[in-house]
């Protein structure tokens, strides 16, 4: 993904591999079966994909029926090993669930066709608009502010429109071959709860006290069944969020799940803790984003309009995100303190972590959780001692500099 915005459409990359040729032929067959007549596709444009899938935009060159002028094809590779979640099943079930909503409520692409055996999805092409990452790394602060608020509104609308759909998601997952599903973040959080204390002691000399462990145990209740659960794309990072004329749309559902909305809402307070793209926001913007999200979700959960209900849940979610992101990003023995993602314009790992622990300490102190606040301060001081005082300045996104 390029983080530089240029005028005009992005450069078209034309893949030429046999894998891509096979993908086009498979997509033509899927659409032909779907419409009952021959469909021909042309002009493939590589949209990046991953090691798990080929993703491309194609032009509909020939069809006797009304189809969009362009489509997006996502063709998955082999089924993962037993015991691993299947990203195709997650995305197929998610797109079916979202497409069943009225068009005005959709916050992702419409599912045009699918083939479970061929592990292929044919999706609505949402266009060549900028991603949220593109906007944040450009130089227009007003556009960035509007886009962040639109992102918060889209997240709230997703939570509201998908509330109470867990049984539907379960059924769709089984229908597309997913015997079970899990929130990948919850899996990692549970693992980090047992592994991070020893890592912190070994690398920073700051083993968590019993009071912090107890608070973590209580906070992990967010990972189970709660009354505030809704569908989540799970990976709601800036490069998976497309800014369109109709608001922000989410693009990637490979790890989608149903989970407590507080885990997503915490993204609003310290942005994108699971992403390479985690810089500082201007003063007051996080609270404005939270208010925007809240204005949507109170339609379903009216009690979240009460700070006494919402704020403790957000602090628990924040604690869990800080904990698991420290487990992800803290340099181990022998590892260098490089960027979160060496291929992206990321902050240093230590800088991002110091900022998260500092914010956690401030918020815990405001909430009267003195033990958590004191431990967060100890972690920040230990990070500075190991990596230097320069880590204490997390710069804003380029759009806000």
User: 301-351 pLDDT, tens per residue?
Assistant: 999 999 999 999 999 999 999 999 999 999 988 888 999 998 889 999 999
Bridge-partner residues for 249, per DSSP? 242
User: Between the ranges 103-112, 180-189, 196-205, where is the mean pLDDT highest?
Assistant: 196-205
Q: Tell me what the pLDDT averaged over the chain comes to.
A: 91
Q: Could you tell me if 49 and 55 are in contact, meaning their C-beta atoms sit under 8 angstroms apart?
A: yes
pLDDT at 149: 97
Instruction: Taking residues 160-181, report their average pLDDT.
Output: 91
Q: CB within 8 A of 194, min separation 6: which ones? A: none
pLDDT at 5: 26
pLDDT at 179: 74
Identical fold, 18-124 and 132-400: no
pLDDT at 49: 66
Kindly write down the DSSP assignment for every residue of 319-372, as one continuous string.
Answer: HHHHHHHHHHHS--TT----BSSTTTTPPBHHHHHHHHHHHHHHHHHHTT-HHH
To which H or E segment does residue 170 belong?
A: helix 166-175
Name the CATH topology of 132-400. Aminoglycoside 3'-phosphotransferase; Chain: A, domain 2 (3.90.1200)
Residue 17 has pLDDT above 60, yes or no: no
Average the pLDDT over each of 50-64, 219-233, 366-380 and give the range with the smallest value. Answer: 50-64
Q: Could you tell me if 39 and 59 are in contact, meaning their C-beta atoms sit under 8 angstroms apart?
A: no
Q: Could you tell me if 269 and 318 are in contact, meaning their C-beta atoms sit under 8 angstroms apart?
A: yes
Q: CB within 8 A of 183, min separation 6: which ones? A: 223, 232, 234, 255, 257, 258, 259
Q: Could you tell me if 391 and 331 are in contact, meaning their C-beta atoms sit under 8 angstroms apart?
A: no
pLDDT at 177: 85
Which of 73, 122, 129 lies closest to 99, judged by CA? 122
Residue 6 has pLDDT above 80, yes or no: no
Percentage of residues in the chain with pLDDT exceeding 70? 94
Prediction pTM value: 0.91
What are the φ and ψ backbone dihedral angles of 191, each rounded to 5 degrees? -70, -40
pLDDT at 14: 40
Percentage of residues in the chain with pLDDT exceeding 90? 76
Q: Tell me the per-residue pLDDT of 347-391, one tens digit each, with 9 for 90 and over.
A: 999 999 999 999 999 999 999 999 999 999 999 999 999 999 999
Q: Could you tell me if 39 and 62 are in contact, meaning their C-beta atoms sit under 8 angstroms apart?
A: yes
pLDDT at 1: 34
Residue 263 has pLDDT above 80, yes or no: yes
In angstroms, the first-to-last Cα distance of the chain is 22
pLDDT at 235: 83
Rounded to whole angstroms, the Cα distance separating 220 from 199 reads 19
Instruction: Taking residues 11-27, report their average pLDDT.
Output: 65
pLDDT at 81: 76
What is the second-level CATH architecture of the domain 18-124? 2-Layer Sandwich (3.30)
Instruction: Taking residues 35-53, report their average pLDDT.
Output: 86
Alpha-carbon radius of gyration of the chain: 22
Query: Would you list the domain boundaries of the chain?
Result: 18-124, 132-400
């Amino acid at each position: 993904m390029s983080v530089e915005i240029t005028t005009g459409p992005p450069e078209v990359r034309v893949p030429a591999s046999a894998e891509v040729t096979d993908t086009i032929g498979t997509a033509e067959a899927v659409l032909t079966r779907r419409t009952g007549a021959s469909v021909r596709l042309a002009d493939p444009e590589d949209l990046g994909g991953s090691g798990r899938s080929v993703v491309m935009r194609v032009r509909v060159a020939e069809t006797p029926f009304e189809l969009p002028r362009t489509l997006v094809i996502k063709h998955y590779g082999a089924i993962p090993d037993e015991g691993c979640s299947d990203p195709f099943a997650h995305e197929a079930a998610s797109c079916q669930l979202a497409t069943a909503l009225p068009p005005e409520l959709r916050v992702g692409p419409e599912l045009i066709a699918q083939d479970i055996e061929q592990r292929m999805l044919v999706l609505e092409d949402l266009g060549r608009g900028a991603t949220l990452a593109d906007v944040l790394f450009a130089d227009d602060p007003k556009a960035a502010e509007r886009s962040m608020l639109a992102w918060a509104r889209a997240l709230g609308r997703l939570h509201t429109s998908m509330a109470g759909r867990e049984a539907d998601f379960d059924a769709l997952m089984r229908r597309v071959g997913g015997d079970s599903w899990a929130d990948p973040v919850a899996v990692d959080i549970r693992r980090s709860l047992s592994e991070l204390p020893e890592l912190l002691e070994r690398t920073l000399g700051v083993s968590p006290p019993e009071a912090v462990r107890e608070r973590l145990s209580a906070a992990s209740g967010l990972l189970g069944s709660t009354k505030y659960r809704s569908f989540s794309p799970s990976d709601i990072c800036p490069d998976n969020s497309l800014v369109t004329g109709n608001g922000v749309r989410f693009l990637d559902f490979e790890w989608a799940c149903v989970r407590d909305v507080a885990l997503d809402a915490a993204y609003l307070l310290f942005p994108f803790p699971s992403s390479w793209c985690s810089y500082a926001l201007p003063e007051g913007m996080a609270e404005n984003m939270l208010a925007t999200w809240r204005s949507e979700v109170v339609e379903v959960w009216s009690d979240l309009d009460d700070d006494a209900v919402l704020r403790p849940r957000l602090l628990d979610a924040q604690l869990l995100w800080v904990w698991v992101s420290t487990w992800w990003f803290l340099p181990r023995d022998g590892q260098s303190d490089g960027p979160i993602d060496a291929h992206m314009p990321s902050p240093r790992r230590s800088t991002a972590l110091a900022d998260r622990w500092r914010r956690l300490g401030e918020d815990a102190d405001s909430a009267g959780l003195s033990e958590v606040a004191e431990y967060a301060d100890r972690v920040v001081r230990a990070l500075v001692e190991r990596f230097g005082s320069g880590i204490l300045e997390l710069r804003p996104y380029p759009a806000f500099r």
